[in-house]
Structure 1
Amino acid sequence: MTTRPPGDHPRLCVMISGSGRSLANLARLAASGSLRARIALVIASRQCPGLAHAAAHGVHAQVIPGQIPAEELARTLDAHAIDLTVLAGYLRYLHVPASHAGRVINIHPALLPDFGGPGMHGRRVHEAVLAAGRHVSGCTVHVVDDQYDHGPVVLQRACAVLASDTPESLADRVFAQELLALPEAIDALLHARWTPARPPIRPQGDAAFIDPSHTPRGSRS
């Protein structure tokens, strides 16, 4: 990460495509000092409700439709001195610039490597989890590489799947874990508590309830 003067927090770019609920959560945490980072840029793949959260917090936002060429993305991130880029409900394939490799993360609403890949987002993920009869679901924060929902896992948080669950109720329970997982992963990366050479972080408490047979992609023995 970029060396900064004391008190100058690392700078984040958050990329969105929809409601921006995760962006709003990160912005609140940054404003309160609970997240030791500053959101310096928001990039949206389209006009979407999430842009209102950027405006409410005085964050510069850009709408860049379609797939962003790696060179263009690098110029944009560098112009804002971005240390870490966070995909928070960003639905476009992202070409990660070589200069930012290892500094782009994504949050996915399932325990990867299961229920990931092209087209697996939002309701589809939770429908697939329920159809498979799983008893545990959760979310995964991982480093972005050149494949969908791939790359080293930073951390996972888990929750139970109930017999009475619908895709909507399961989505709500998973999202509650996402609100905890994403800031924890950001802090771990920005402040050197995790690197790709380390195994995924294992949170304590209910979030540690992960099926023992599940081996996340990117885990290391």
Structure 2
Amino acid sequence: MTRIGILLSGRGSNFVAIAEAIRDGSLPHVEIAIVLSNREDAGGLEAARAMGIPARAIISKGMKRAEHDALMIQALRGARVELVCLAGYMRVLTPDFVGAFPGAILNIHPSLLPSFVGLDVQQAALDFGVKVAGCTVHFVDEAVDHGVIVLQRTVDVLDEDTTETLSARILVEEHKAYPEAIRRVVSGDYTAVGRRYIRLT
């Protein structure tokens, strides 16, 4: 059984998707050990507590990034977390955090990386005129939205799309992609060659 820790800053819809996949058996051999947020008002904390999952806020406001990350690392290690999953966690991790869980931090980003890193990516995609958008689950390294890609899911961009409609369709794909990416990673049936994630079975 792989113990995962979820980091979030908001409503936690991807966390809920992961939890539901564990519950319905489509994400086996995984348990959520703890849910952490840098915001006390994050809706994902309330959702976790309603499911009986340990959840706590470690407030980042007014704290130096390195100090806050040290507390997050401490909490994750205290919960014996083996894989960290960022699910709408709106902070850039320090090198110390990345180094504390080498090759064991995943993130989901609402674009087809390497296109449109950072924030407001759906508006950027519409402004650029792309015809296909989507989401990416990737390992986290010390650069923003940069690590080895585990999987991507796509949606067509419609002529009538707005930021809201495009984001909503991509979110549906995120909820499918993240549990599947976790399943692939915890299976151990992969290797990374350079930037390429390669499934072995």
TM range, smaller chain = 0.7 to 0.9
**Residue equivalent to 1:24:** 16
Contact 1:15 1:43 (C-alpha < 8 Å) held by counterparts: yes
TM-score (norm 1): 0.80
Pair 89,201 (structure 1): closer, same or farther in 2 beyond 3 Å: farther
Matched, 1:43 2:36: yes
Q: Which amino acid aligns with 2:107?
A: N
Q: Is the 8 A contact 2:98 2:141 kept in 1?
A: no
Does residue 1:150 correspond to 2:146, yes or no?
yes
Say whether the 8 Å CA contact 1:104–1:143 is kept in structure 2.
yes
**Distance between the aligned counterparts of 1:143 and 1:32, measured in 2?**
25
Per the normalisation by structure 2, the TM-score is 0.88
Matching residue's letter, 2:35: V
8 Å Cα contact 1:154-1:194 kept in structure 2: no
The 1:35/1:82 distance shift into structure 2, 3 A limit, reads: same
> What runs of 5+ residues in structure 1 fail to find an aligned partner?
1-8, 203-221
Letter paired with 1:82 = V
CA contact (8 A) 1:73 1:97 kept: no
Contact 1:156 1:200 in 2 (8 A): no
Paired residue secondary structure (1:50): helix
Matched, 1:174 2:166: no
Identical columns (%): 39
Q: What is the distance in 1 between the residues matched to 2:73 and 2:110?
A: 27
Aligned pairs for 1:102-181 within 5 A:
102-117=103-118, 120=119, 124-181=120-177
Q: Distance in 2 between matches of 1:151 and 1:182?
A: 15
1:13 is aligned to 5
Q: Which amino acid aligns with 2:52?
A: G
Cα distance change on mapping 1:201 and 1:181 into 2, 3 Å: farther
Residue correspondences, number = 189
- Aligned residue for 1:46, secondary structure, equals coil
Alpha-carbon displacement from aligned partner over 1:110-139 (angstroms, at most 9, x marks no partner)? 00111103xx1xxx1111100000000000
**Does residue 1:93 correspond to 2:85, yes or no?**
no
Higher relative contact order (CA 8 A, sep 6+): 2
Do 1:35 and 1:187's aligned partners in 2 also have CA atoms closer than 8 Å? Answer: yes
Tell me by how many angstroms 1:73 deviates: 3.2
The 1-side partners of 2:180 and 2:128 are apart by: 29
Contact 1:14 1:39 in 2 (8 A): yes
Runs of 5+ consecutive residues of structure 2 not aligned to the other structure: none
Alpha carbons of structure 1 residues 184 and 201: separation in structure 2 relative to 1, 3 Å = farther
Cα distance between partner residues in 1 of 2:3 and 2:196: 25
- Counterpart contact for 1:107–1:142, Cα < 8 Å: yes
- The alpha carbon displacement at 1:65 in A equals 2.4
In the alignment, is the contact (CA less than 8 A) between 1:142 and 1:151 conserved in 2?
A: yes
Deviates more, 1:48-57 or 1:63-72: 63-72
- Are the structure 2 counterparts of residues 162 and 97 from structure 1 closer, same or farther at C-alpha, using a change threshold of 3 Å? closer
Q: Deviations over 1:42-101 (max 9, x none)?
A: 011102111111111111112122235454333222211111100010001112242311
Query: 4+ residue stretches of structure 1 with deviation over 6 A?
Result: none
